[in-house]
């Protein structure tokens, strides 16, 4: 952002201070995540930077906490990771199917009371988790699904669908409906049209919705806190327990792994978004 | 009428045929939405309704003490009840004590007035040996609660099948002996403070998110694509990262020996032995929530700013406006939809925050959600938790409705 040579001085000062402010805000957004990385390699069981670490002494760094995370005795992370993935995968499948179908219905010109339905279907995203957790807990306890994977998966489907509905509806807003009409006029039945024409075109939206649903479930702690028994513990629950009692560097090792996972998901989602824009012929700028 | 009815190829009037096909399309759309709609109705809306029901439902106790309540109806609450009422209570309580089913009653009455639990436990043991006469005297000899007018009034106050008393408790009110609404004692009135604190934190978090995100959203929407894509990742990475990871990084940053405190000491703003408390209070809650909710403000602002053509500002300047005037009169009003969307979203999310205040807030930085969790997990006064939850839900749904009217639900954007 070079300024032209004729820029007056006061504007120059203003411009650079503006950029500095922006830089600081970006730092505020991202820097906290990067505090975790070096500390997770700390050779000592402390949560602050030792003088040796600041001097970049190789002895101050180790993989100790990663070993502890994987091989440690009595450690809950293995079971937690297994549960987290199982729950998140099933919840993602459920949310994606239900959410995509609903989004297609909602995007139809003929759908009555569109806004009201949309408001209801999105509400789990808006209602505070503590309220959803309380209400779902009473319900699951009543039907005997408390402390089961099924109960947690069902509640995570609820929490994940709004994201799928939003992303798929957004993709469908630029959808050219004449292609499905063309398919129908060529003799294709609705199911075939959907599988061969509509679905491939809205796929980027569906996948990014699915990623949102996955992350929502994988990261969700409040509802699980109410519903989970000892057998259903998940990574967020273990982190919550650890953070409440005493932060050990093992938690930072887990956190680092989670940051890497979220970076991968972010990159995938970003690539998909661009592909979707290309497919729909939307040009930015 | 001389208009000729237009027929479609199979001889049916076109209008009718069109209506039929429209109805078919309508049904198809409804059928597609139906599975999710029913799912949400059964597993979400119904439980929320059940929660509301639970907060006013008082039938558990009225079913346990039917005789007592019918006897208490005529009692004027001026002096200790008569022999008949004690007898009625004996008739209700004796079978419960004998069948060892009185536990729920202790708990329930103890929410009403503390002291019931110990008194009833003792009564529970001794009632089995009661003689079938002089009930009043025997009860009064068992425990002091039976010699006190206040405890009988507390029992009488639980007599309606449906009660809104939990809602009164949620705003530090209670019913007195004459069933008038009064303020609770000062040491017990914590809820109004908590509601106000929740609103205050949500408000200031929204303000700080707005102030922080406006400049960067503007930057993102005006710089060339290749830079903005890179910077956008800085906004999206925290957005995608686990909430607990972000909270734990703040716990490290804000701790006594943490980097931020080190910086403060190094800059000479505080003495080394007098490091400021940044965590376990409101400051911690405020800073952490601002960072966590910032992306929810940046994204709607960015998507609105993206649609404002830069030529408008140039036009303003060429017509003689200073940059400041062109900004205030042209650019800022155009971004108001984005500001509205972002602020409402952040406020809604902030008002119900639980995890972050619980971890970095401590006692003075905890919000209303933490109180709900406390009653759900520790005190087990579920009816009160449900009442607080319903009150919070009403607040959130009101803002959601405003959001819906002002912004439109379908305008929520994610990245």
Residue B177's pLDDT band (cuts 50, 70, 90): low
CATH, residue B328? 1.10.3720.10
CB contact B223 to A (< 8 Å): yes
Q: Tell me if B18 is assigned to some domain.
A: no
A208 in a domain, yes or no? yes
> Among A249, A254, A34, which Cα is nearest to B259's?
A34
Residue B44 is predicted with a pLDDT of: 94
Three-class SS of residue A73? coil
Chain B residues with CB under 8 Å of A219 CB are: 242-244
Average pLDDT rounded to a whole number, residues B136-142: 83
Burial of B57 (0-12, 13-18, 19+ CB in 10 A): middle
Q: Which of B119, B143, B161 is the last residue of a domain?
A: B161
Q: What's the whole-number mean pLDDT along residues B138-148?
A: 83
pLDDT of residue B395: 92
CB pairs A-B closer than 8 Å: 273
Residue A42 lies in a domain: no
In a domain, B68, yes or no: yes
Can you give the pLDDT at residue A282? Answer: 54
Q: What is the pLDDT of residues B292-313, one digit of tens each?
A: 999 999 988 998 898 888 888 8
Q: Does residue B389 register a pLDDT over 80?
A: yes
Judged against a pLDDT cut of 80, whether residue B319 lies above it is answered with: yes
Q: A37 or A72, which is more confident?
A: A37
> Domain count of chain A?
1
CA distance B158 to B333: 55
Query: Could you tell me the residue range of the domain that residue A124 belongs to?
Result: 80-278
Residue of A nearest to B39 (CA): A158
Domain boundary among the residues B110, B143, B161 is at: B161
- Which site among A19, A128, A171, A263 would you substitute to test the B interface, given the most B Cβ atoms closer than 10 Å to its Cβ? A128
Nearest to A134 among B51, B236, B408 (CB): B51
Residue B50 covered by a domain: no
Q: Look at chain B and report how many structural domains it folds into.
A: 2
Q: What is the pLDDT of residue B270?
A: 81
What is the average per-residue pLDDT within B39-58?
Answer: 92
Domain range for B245: 191-411
Q: Do A126 and B348 touch (CB under 8 A)?
A: yes
Q: Name the residue of chain A whose CA is nearest to B224's CA.
A: A285
B108 and B224 fall within a common domain: no
Residues B276 and B156 in one domain: no
pLDDT for B405 beyond 90: no
Res A96 pLDDT > 50: yes
Contacting residues for B170 by C-beta, under 8 A, at least 6 apart: B191, B384, B387, B388, B391
Whether the predicted pLDDT of A38 surpasses 70:
yes
Q: Hunting for tokens 């967020």 — which residue is that?
A: A236
d(C-alpha B364, C-alpha A157), whole Å: 35
Average pLDDT, chain A: 86
Residue B273 placed within a domain: yes
Does the pTM of the predicted model rise above 0.95?
Answer: no
Would residue B127 count as lying in a domain? yes
Cβ separation A270–B412 shorter than 8 A: no
Distance CA B61, CA A29 (A): 52
Cα within 13 Å of Cα(B229), Cβ side: 12
Q: Looking at the structure, tell me whether residues B287 and B404 fall in a common domain.
A: yes
Who among B30, B50, B392 is closest to A128 (CB)? B392
Q: Which residue has the higher pLDDT, B43 or B119?
A: B43
Name which of B22, B219, B248 is nearest A22 (Cβ-Cβ): B219
Rounded to an integer, the average pLDDT of B260-277 is: 84
Candidate from A1, A115, A161 with C-beta closest to B409:
A115
Indicate whether A277 pLDDT > 90.
no
């Amino acid at each position: 952002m070079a300024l032209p040579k004729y820029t007056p001085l006061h504007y120059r000062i203003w411009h650079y201070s503006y950029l500095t402010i922006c830089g600081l805000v970006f730092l505020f957004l991202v820097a906290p995540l990067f505090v975790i990385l070096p500390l997770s390699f700390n050779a000592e069981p402390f949560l602050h930077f030792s003088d040796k670490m600041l001097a970049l002494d190789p002895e101050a760094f180790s993989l100790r906490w990663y070993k502890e995370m994987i091989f440690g005795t009595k450690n809950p992370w293995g079971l937690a990771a297994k549960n987290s993935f199982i729950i998140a995968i099933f919840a993602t499948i459920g949310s994606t199917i239900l959410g995509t179908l609903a989004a297609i219905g909602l995007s139809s010109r003929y759908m009555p009371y569109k806004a009201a339905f949309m408001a209801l279907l999105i509400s789990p995203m808006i209602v505070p988790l503590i309220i959803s957790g309380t209400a779902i807990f009473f319900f699951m306890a009543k039907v005997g699904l408390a402390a089961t994977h099924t109960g947690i998966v069902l509640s995570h489907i609820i929490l994940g669908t709004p994201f799928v509905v939003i992303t798929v509806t957004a993709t469908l807003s630029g959808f050219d409906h004449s292609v499905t009409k063309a398919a129908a006029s060529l003799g294709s039945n609705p199911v075939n049209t959907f599988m061969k024409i509509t679905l491939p075109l809205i796929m980027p939206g569906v996948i990014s919705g699915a990623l949102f649903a996955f992350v929502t479930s994988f990261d969700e702690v409040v509802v699980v806190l109410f519903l989970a028994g000892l057998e259903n513990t998940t990574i967020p629950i273990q982190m919550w327990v650890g953070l409440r009692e005493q932060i050990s560097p093992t938690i930072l090792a887990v956190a680092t792994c989670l940051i890497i996972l979220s970076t991968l998901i972010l990159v995938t989602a970003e690539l998909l978004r661009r592909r979707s824009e290309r497919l729909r012929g939307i040009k930015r700028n | 009428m001389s208009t000729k009815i237009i027929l479609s190829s199979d001889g049916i009037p076109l209008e009718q045929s069109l209506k039929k096909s429209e109805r078919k399309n309508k049904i198809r759309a409804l059928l597609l939405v139906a599975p999710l709609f029913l799912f949400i109705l059964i597993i979400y809306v119904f439980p929320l309704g059940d929660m509301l029901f639970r907060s006013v439902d008082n039938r558990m106790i009225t079913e346990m003490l039917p005789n007592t309540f019918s006897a208490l109806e005529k009692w004027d609450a001026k002096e200790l009840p008569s022999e008949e009422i004690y007898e009625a209570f004996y008739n209700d309580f004796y079978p419960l004590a004998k069948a060892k089913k009185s536990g729920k009653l202790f708990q329930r009455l103890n929410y009403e007035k503390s002291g019931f639990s110990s008194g009833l436990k003792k009564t529970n043991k001794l009632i089995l040996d009661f003689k079938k006469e002089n009930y009043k005297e025997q009860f009064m000899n068992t425990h002091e609660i039976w010699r006190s007018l206040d405890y009988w009034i507390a029992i009488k106050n639980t007599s309606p099948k449906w009660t809104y008393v939990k809602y009164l408790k949620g705003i530090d009110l209670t019913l007195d002996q004459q069933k008038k609404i009064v303020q609770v004692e000062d040491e017990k009135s914590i809820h109004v403070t908590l509601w106000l604190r929740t609103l205050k934190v949500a408000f200031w978090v929204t303000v700080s998110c707005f102030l922080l995100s406006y400049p960067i959203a503007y930057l993102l929407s005006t710089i060339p694509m290749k830079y903005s894509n890179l910077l956008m990742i800085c906004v999206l990475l925290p957005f995608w990262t686990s909430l607990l990871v972000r909270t734990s990084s703040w716990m490290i940053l804000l701790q006594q020996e943490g980097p931020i405190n080190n910086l403060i000491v190094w800059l000479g703003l505080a003495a080394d032995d007098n490091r400021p408390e940044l965590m376990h209070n409101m400051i911690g809650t405020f800073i952490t929530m601002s960072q966590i909710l910032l992306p929810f403000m940046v994204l709607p602002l960015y998507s609105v700013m993206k649609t404002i053509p830069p030529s408008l500002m140039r036009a303003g300047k060429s017509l003689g406006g200073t940059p400041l005037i062109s900004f205030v009169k042209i650019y800022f009003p155009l971004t108001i939809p984005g500001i509205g969307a972002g602020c409402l979203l952040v406020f809604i999310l902030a008002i119900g925050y639980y995890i972050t205040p619980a971890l970095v807030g401590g006692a003075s930085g905890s919000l209303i959600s933490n109180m709900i969790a406390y009653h759900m997990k520790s005190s087990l006064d579920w009816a009160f938790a449900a009442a607080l939850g319903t009150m919070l839900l009403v607040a959130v749904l009101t803002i959601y409705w405003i959001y819906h009217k002002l912004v439109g639900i379908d305008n929520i954007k994610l990245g």
